[in-house]
Every structure is written in C-alpha cells, then in structure tokens.
Structure 1
Amino acid sequence: MDMITDAQHVAQHEAVRAQTHAGGEFLTFRLGAEEYGIDILRVQEIRSYEQPTRIANAPHFIKGVVNLRGVIVPIVDLRMKLGCESAEYNAFTVVIVLNVKGRVVGAVVDSVSDVLELGAASIKPAPEMSSAIDASYITGIGAIKNGSGDDASERMLILMDIEALMASADMGLINEMH
C-alpha cells in the first residue's frame, strides 16, 4: 500500500467515524454475547442462513458463495472473522446481505436484533486499544437505555464500520473493490 492510499484510507475511516458520531439508523445484531450495530444504509436484505458452496483455499472465515438472484455473493462468517469462541448454525443464524463499495457481500451473524435510531448524544467514541487488538473497525459505542426510572439499564452497542471491514486486505475481496 503506498502512502497516498494509506492516507486516503485513514481519512475515509475518520469520515465514517465522524458520520457515526452524528447518529443515524443502525441495524443491530449479535455475535456471541456482544451486540453490534452497522449503518442501515449498507444493508440490502436479511436472509436465513443456507449452506454456501465452498471455495477451495479460501480463508476459514469465508464460508463460500451463494447465488442470490443471479449474483454470486461471497459469504463471510463475521463470528469467525472477529474471533468469537463458537459459531453455531441454528434457526436464528442469518446472513445480512450488504452492499459495500458496489459489491454484494453476505455476513453471517448469530441473530439480528432490530433497527435503532441513535442520536449523537447516545454515541461515545471507541476506546483506544493496544495494537494487539484490531479496533480500527469500531467507530463508536452506542449506549441504549432499557426501561425508565430506577429500573433503567444500559445496553452497549459496538458500532462497526462494516465497509472498512469487508474491504480490508485480509478479506481477499479487495481486488474486486475500488
């Protein structure tokens, strides 16, 4: 990667981070015990999980491809990509079909929760972490209140730059993306 591309990548990620902090609508989903949120505008559809056709020599987190109305769509298991301890396939397992930089990609998650509108006041900056932890795809933390009064609890929602994650070099999808 040359310096210009690196600088452009950093600028683009900062723009997404700033956009996240302005608030908006997020699709929330579960990976293990954690709840994540992605920009609803990246989501094309949500489908039940079906066994994809395996591709030889693909990274372990790329489960294969499916034919979605004539479009061959790579299926990425986000649980494996992000290091969840287990990845069970059950009735709740779904594929979030995303449109990332003009390319259709499927992301396997444990379950989809809901669509939430978060205002800027509900979004906190992502914590700074050591370089051992790749937090570059985390754009912020959403704090969602459950209930009211003394019974109110707060749910933490990890807001993710799904476009940067899917376009990262280790995904192997980068060659087709511009």
Structure 2
Amino acid sequence: MTQATADLTDADHTQGEPREFLTFTLGNEEYGIDILCVQEIRGYDGVTRLPGAPAHIKGVVNIRGTIVPVVDLRIRFQLGNATYDALTVMVVLNVGDRIVGVVVDSVSDVAALAEDQIRPNPDLEGAVDPRFVTGIGTLDGRMLILLDIEGLMASAEMGLAGSEAA
C-alpha cells in the first residue's frame, strides 16, 4: 500500500472499500475532499468581513446560530481572482472541533474511489502545499487533487483562530 493510500485509510473505512469524495472545481482543476467532513453545501451569500483578516478569509456567516468563518480556497491557493456568480458555492465542513465554510467555484459530484484509483502525491512545489495533498485520484479519465482538508484548515498558514502550528 502506498503512503498516500495509507493516509487515506482510517477507522471509518475498511481496506479495499471505496472512499467517497466530494469533488469541486477551482479554476481549471478538480479537487476532492473526504465526504465525511462535509456538513452541507450552500449557495454563496455575502459574508461579514473581518477587519485585518487575511485575504483568503472572506469573513463570517451565521448558520443556524453558529458563527462560521469562510475561506476562499481559490484565493488561498493563489489561483487568481475569485469571481462570485450563480455557480459559486460554499461547502460547510465539520473539521476537528469546528465548522468552517470554504468557497469553491462549483461542486461537481460525489466520487467513490477504490485504493487502486488513488496515486501518491507527486513531489511538486505549487500553490497547494504538498502537506495537504493526500494523493491524486483517477476516475473516468479525470484527475482529482485529493486534499487533506482537516490538516489544511488546522494549519497555522490558514490563519483561523485555534489553528495549530504546522
């Protein structure tokens, strides 16, 4: 078993059982995050901007009485200016002990990937820190960049209160 596949195997999944990922786009690339982290998918509404927050933290929203920070992954990954339109969505995540919203260009679908469809993360430098890429998924000719969304949201670079040092 490769390291990327080992990273994707946890107590919630038995070996050989496909893992499900919510797939979404940022620019021209498709990404995947573990479906178990997804609480809900919402249309993108305006947020309350926080003074002094990093550019990728769009602000906060009130979701059923919970104040939720909202991160724009396009800005965080330095993929150019974000355009907010009818397809822009916010994926509400339950990561660690917090709820976080992430803005993405569009949500594609839920993809089930078997172990043999997940390749190790290539050793490349880029906008996405390789520490937060668990592998590359292949599905019907598509390539999905599989993110460790929990690690990313907990990283000090994210700038969210309560983030751990990376």
What range is the shorter-chain TM-score in?
Answer: 0.7 to 0.9
Partner of 1:85: 80
- 5+ residue gaps, structure 2, are none
Deviations 1:128-153 (A, max 9, x none): 124886211110001111xxxxxxxx
Assess, with a 3 A threshold, how the Cα gap between structure 1 residues 127 and 59 changes in structure 2: closer, same or farther: same
Does the 8 Å CA contact 1:139/1:161 hold for their aligned counterparts? yes
Matched, 1:50 2:37: no
Aligned partner of 2:9 among 8, 13, 19: 19
Aligned CA distance change for structure 1 residues 69 and 16 (closer, same or farther; 3 Å): farther
Cα displacement string for residues 108-132 of structure 1 (whole angstroms, at most 9, x for unaligned residues): 0000000010000111001012488
Q: Which amino acid aligns with 1:160?
A: L
Q: Give the aligned partner of residue 155 of structure 1.
A: 142
Q: Evaluate the alpha carbon distance shift between residue 52 and residue 37 of structure 1 in structure 2; reply closer, same or farther with a 3 A threshold.
A: same
Q: Give 2:154's aligned residue.
A: 167
Query: Aligned partners of 1:112 and 1:175: how far apart in 2?
Result: 28
CA distance in 1, matches of 2:38, 2:72: 16
Letter in 2 for 1:159: L
Conserved 8 A contact 1:32-1:110 = yes
Give the length in aligned residue pairs: 157
| Stretch of structure 1 that moved more, 78-87 or 41-50 | 78-87
Residue of structure 2 aligned with 1:117, choices 105, 112, 119: 112
Q: Secondary structure at the match of 1:175?
A: coil
Amino acid aligned to 1:37? G
1:140-172 Cα offsets, whole Å, 9 max, x none, are 001111xxxxxxxx1110000000111110222
Identify if the C-alpha distance between structure 1 residues 139 and 174 changes in structure 2 by more than 3 Å, giving closer, same or farther. farther
What residue is the counterpart of 1:150 in the other structure?
none
Tell me the alpha carbon deviations over residues 31-62 of structure 1, each in whole angstroms, 9 at most, x when there is no partner.
Answer: 00000000000000000000100000000000
Per the TM alignment, residue 17 of structure 1 is displaced from its structure 2 partner at its CA by 2.2
Alpha carbons 1:168, 1:174 under 8 Å: kept: no
CA deviation vs aligned residue, 1:62-91 (integer Å, no higher than 9, x gap): 000000000000000000001112310000
Q: Give me the identity figure in percent.
A: 55
Change (3 A) 1:90 1:123: same
Bigger Rg over Cα: 1
1:71 matched to which residue of 2?
66
Q: Secondary structure at the match of 2:131?
A: coil
Q: Quick one: which amino acid aligns to residue 54 of structure 1?
A: R
Q: What TM-score do you get using the length of structure 1 for normalisation?
A: 0.81
> What is the RMSD of the two structures over their aligned residues, measured on CA atoms?
2.4
Task: Find 2:94's aligned residue among 96, 99, 107.
Answer: 99
